Amino acid sequence: MVELTTGKMKSREGTVVDADDIVDELVGKTEEETINHGKTEGFTADELKELYNTLGLGALKFYLLRVDPKKTMVFDPKESIDIQGFTGPFVQYTHARIKSILRKIGDVDLTATSAKEEEELLPLEKSVLVFLEQYPAAVEQAGAEHNPSVIVNYVFQLAQKFNSFYTEHSVANAETSGKKLLRIQLATMTANVIKSGMQLLGIAVPERM
């Protein structure tokens, strides 16, 4: 059951909210937030319209699916679009951020490595890699329990782990060629898993924002 911050929705009292109205509100709010954060440079008008729709719909779906379907939830439109919170836009932004990192680096042969370049994983690198390996299990659990919130929580935590890693360690300017290749691989796999997980939730992820 979904409730609003103003209380339960009741048809008899006229407090039922139309889904289309919620979507329109979220699309408008994501437009305001995107403009306020200065993230509209380089987009055409049509591209921005598509971006706002992607973020708005993603915010709604992610927020509704992040709670176990057996439990009652309170929907807060403002909270659902917080780019720093437990939200769809946060995960979508992380995906776009990774794609931007990879575009700046350019094409790299991800199989090009040698034994002498192999180095011990740093804690944050290992954290991302170990968590990536848990994706199939998360998908299996979500299916077995008919509970999409498992995937919601997984992609959110993966985005958090990657951002923590990237805050401390550069990808493009890694200490060695081996480290650079490793981090490109981690970034690529993270973006792919985020996109896959969000697609399972019916949520699109932008290539840039």
Q: CA angle, 185 as apex, 95 and 179 as ends, to 5°?
A: 120
- 2-200: which CATH topology? Isoleucyl-tRNA Synthetase; Domain 1 (1.10.730)
116: nearest Cα among 42, 177, 61, 56: 177
Q: Where are the domains of the chain?
A: 2-200
Q: What residues pair up with 74 in beta bridges, in sequence order? A: 3
Is the per-residue pLDDT at 67 higher than 70? yes
CA distances in angstroms from 104 to 54, 107, 171, listed in the order given: 24, 9, 10
Confidence of residue 53 (pLDDT cuts 50, 70, 90): very high
Per-residue model confidence as pLDDT tens digits over 141-182: 999 999 999 999 999 999 999 999 999 999 999 999 889 999
